[in-house]
């Protein structure tokens, strides 16, 4: 640049420049504003909403990971009038909730402190303000999710008749990719946005015969009805990340589940009639496919620095 | 450190120094569902670039939500192919 300000760090990376804006700490919420969904089945699933006010620019959220479950930010929504909702999803059954830290460019913040350094862009707005707790990154990694949430989906134990089985053990995710990030702070916070998705389903079928007459050599003599029961158990996953003392995992979180059942009835007396019925356990988004497996990024910072 | 800069608060706490590292925000823009955007940023020349994508609306549970493809080439960032409204965060260091 021919004018302005540029500061490089010890690794010759840009630290401050008048041509781009640093991210600065804005607000923190220690617990969710509301819990959108919770279930202890299928490995456990939680969906939290954190609502923030007085945020005048698009924020960049970070979250803490109080347990060794999988976490991710699934949406950042502008609610209007400087109000924003951040949605965080999590696996597991713990009642612990993550803290959410909002960072944004310095136009969103203000300080009355008399000491510090401010760098301005050529439009007169701040690019950097040392008084507003600028974001310092401690690490990060590019991660990719495994193509399958589990290595196998067994139908053993699943009942075909009217979806009666809790299929949690069939669909609870087990697969992940492992990454290592060394020398991280004692309270790391993460910026990670979920993109990967997967749907898996298991179909089980059963035939049931009712005979109103007598069975002679396995043949019904009289009125007979045959019921062909089918149940489709399914689970919908989104990508998450897990932190455990320097070990970072890219794995899966169940965000929706269900089962659909149908039956066909064939009845008659030495002849064939037809009938049937069906029931629903939610709409599955698509069938047996994993999408958005593109490389994704986790950014790590020191939460204690902003507490 | 033997050279560099340190910034302190009025209370004497270290706010920031050249031993820190960060990602600087170059842009944060929205791309609509099935839309495409290409932006050029001269400041990206010679820098390490990172892009992040986040969905704006509640993630659909009843259909596919295909993410946008983000391509960085030199100082150009191109986004396209996604089925959802999304924010794209362009960072550099």
Q: How many Cβ atoms from other residues are within 10 Å of residue A2's Cβ?
A: 3
Question: Across chain B, what does the average pLDDT equal?
Answer: 92
Structure tokens, A5: 């300000």
Distance CA A33, CA A170 (A): 32
Task: Write the ipTM.
Answer: 0.92
Rounded Cα–Cα distance for residues A244 and A298 (Å): 14
Residues 83-142 of A with CB under 8 A from B: 87, 105, 113-117, 130-131, 133-138
Query: HSE of A299 in the Cβ direction (CA atoms, 13 Å)?
Result: 24
Rounded CA separation A146/A124 (Å): 46
Q: Annotate A1-34 with DSSP letters as a single string.
A: --SS-EEE-TTS-EEEETTSB--EEEEEESS-SE
Q: Residues near B26 by Cβ (< 8 Å), separated by ≥ 6? A: A20, B41, B43, B44, B90, B91, B92
Nearest Cα to Cα of residue A103 among A125, A134, A75? A134
Distance of CA A222 to the CA centre of its chain: 55
Residue A276 pLDDT: 64
Six token digits for residue A74: 């699934």
The pLDDT of residue A269:
59
Residues of A in contact with B67 (CB under 8 A): 195, 291-292, 294
CA-to-CA dists, residue A204 to A158, A162, B46, B58, B61, angstroms: 7, 11, 57, 32, 23
Q: Are A259 and A238 in contact (CB under 8 A)?
A: no
Considering only CA atoms, give the Rg of chain A: 27
- Cβ proximity of A229 and A213 under 8 Å: no
Strands B24-31 and A118-120: unpaired
Q: For position A259, what pLDDT does the model report?
A: 92
B57-61 long-range Cβ contacts below 8 angstroms, 24+ apart: B57/A75, B57/A77, B57/B84, B57/B85, B58/A75, B58/A77, B58/A87, B59/A74, B59/A75, B59/A87, B59/A194, B59/A238, B59/A255, B60/A285, B60/B84, B61/A236, B61/A255, B61/A256, B61/A285
Instruction: Quote the strand ranges of B47-85, DSSP E.
Output: 49-55, 69-73, 76-80
Q: Is the pLDDT of residue B1 over 80?
A: no
The residue behind tokens 């396209």 is B80
Which of A51, A60, A142 is the mutation pick for testing B, counting most B CBs within 10 A?
Answer: A60
The percent of residues in chain B predicted with pLDDT above 90, rounded, is 72
Please name the residue of chain A whose CA is at the shortest distance from the CA of residue B64: A285
List of chain A residues whose C-beta atoms are within 8 Å of the C-beta of residue B32: none
Does the beta carbon of A291 lie under 8 angstroms from any beta carbon of chain B? yes
For A121, B24, B30, B89, the CA distances from B43, given in Å and listed in that order, are 13, 11, 20, 15
At B17-61, the pLDDT tens digits run 989 999 999 999 999 999 999 999 999 999 999 999 998 987 788
Q: Show the tokens assigned to A249.
A: 């995992």
**Predicted local distance difference test score (pLDDT) of residue A211:** 86
| Run means of pLDDT, 10 residues per run, chain A, 307 residues | 81 92 96 93 94 96 97 95 97 96 94 88 94 94 97 95 92 96 95 96 93 80 83 95 95 94 75 61 84 95 96
Interface of A with B in 148-187 (CB under 8 A): none
Q: How far apart are CA A272 and CA A209, in angstroms?
A: 14
Q: What is this structure's pTM? A: 0.92
pLDDT in tens, A55-85: 999 999 999 999 999 999 999 999 999 999 9
CA distance B22 to B47: 13
Closest CA relative to residue A307, chosen from A20, A17, A19, A30: A30
Nearest to B21 among A20, A75, A137 (CB): A137
CB contact under 8 A, B64 and A291: yes
CA distance B70 to A193: 14
What is the Cα–Cα distance from A70 to A64, expressed in whole angstroms? Answer: 11
* CA nearest to A198, candidates A144, A282, A153, A255: A255
pLDDT at A139: 93
Place of tokens 């609870």: A172
């Amino acid at each position: 640049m021919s004018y302005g300000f540029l500061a490089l760090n010890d690794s010759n990376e840009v630290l401050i420049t008048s041509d781009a804006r640093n991210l600065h700490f804005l607000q923190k919420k220690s617990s969710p504003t509301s819990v959108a969904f919770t279930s202890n089945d299928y490995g456990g699933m939680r969906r939290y909403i954190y609502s923030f006010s007085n945020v005048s620019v698009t924020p960049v959220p970070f979250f803490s990971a109080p347990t060794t479950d999988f976490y991710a930010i699934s949406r950042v929504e502008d609610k209007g009038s400087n109000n924003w909702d951040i949605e965080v999803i999590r696996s597991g059954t713990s009642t612990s909730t993550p803290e959410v830290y909002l960072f944004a460019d310095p136009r969103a913040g203000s300080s009355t402190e008399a000491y510090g350094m401010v760098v301005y862009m050529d439009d007169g707005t701040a690019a950097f303000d040392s008084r507003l707790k600028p974001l310092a990154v401690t690490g990060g990694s590019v991660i990719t999710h495994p193509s399958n949430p589990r290595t196998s989906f067994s139908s053993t134990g699943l009942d075909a008749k009217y979806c009666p089985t809790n299929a949690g053990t069939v669909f609870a995710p087990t697969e992940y990719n492992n990454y290592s990030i060394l020398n991280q702070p004692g309270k790391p916070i993460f910026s990670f946005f979920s993109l990967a998705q997967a749907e898996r389903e298991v179909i089980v079928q059963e035939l049931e015969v009712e005979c109103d007459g007598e069975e002679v050599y396995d043949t019904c003599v009289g009125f007979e009805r045959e019921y062909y029961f089918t149940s489709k158990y399914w689970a919908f996953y989104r990508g998450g990340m897990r932190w455990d003392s320097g070990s970072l995992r890219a794995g899966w979180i169940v965000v929706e589940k269900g089962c659909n059942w149908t039956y066909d009835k064939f009845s008659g007396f030495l002849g064939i009639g037809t009938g049937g019925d069906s029931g629903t356990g939610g709409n599955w988004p698509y069938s047996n496919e994993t999408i958005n497996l593109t490389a994704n990024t986790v950014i790590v910072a020191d939460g204690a620095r902003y507490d | 450190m033997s050279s560099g800069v340190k910034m302190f608060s009025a209370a004497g706490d270290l706010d920031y120094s050249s031993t820190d590292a960060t990602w600087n925000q170059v842009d944060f823009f929205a791309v609509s569902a099935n839309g495409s955007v290409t932006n050029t940023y001269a400041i990206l020349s010679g820098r390490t670039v990172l892009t992040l994508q986040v969905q704006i609306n509640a993630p659909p549970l009843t259909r596919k939500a295909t993410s946008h493809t983000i391509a960085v080439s030199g100082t150009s960032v191109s986004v396209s192919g996604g089925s959802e409204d999304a924010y794209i965060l362009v960072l550099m260091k």
